[in-house]
Amino acid sequence: MTTELKTNPFESEAFVYIRHMDAGEIQGLMPANAIEKIEEPEDLFVVASADGVRLAVVQGREAAFAAARAHDLKPLSVH
């Protein structure tokens, strides 16, 4: 039985993490007058790279996953 992999299974995949934003994070990101214009600020999600760099802020979990897939990224949910 061979226990060594010939290729790295994660090498060609571009994973991103999707997580819900809390109110404190939102307030630190944008001015209050901009937050007031968002219909449901409690429904914002972050799309972040594997090393934690915020790539996008998207309204709605499904939209965050769709945006990641539209850019050929593999979204993973983080709690």
Asked if residue 12 has pLDDT above 50, the reply is no
Q: Work out the average pLDDT over 12-18.
A: 81
Distance, in Å, from the CA atom of 63 to the CA atom of 43, rounded to the nearest integer, reads: 11
Query: What integer pLDDT is reported at residue 78 of this predicted model?
Result: 84
Query: What integer pLDDT is reported at residue 45 of this predicted model?
Result: 94
pTM: 0.73
C-beta separation of 44 from 59 below 8 A: yes
Question: What secondary structure does DSSP assign to 29-41, as a single string?
Answer: HS-HHHHHTSS-G
List pLDDT tens digits, range 24-33. 888 887 788 8
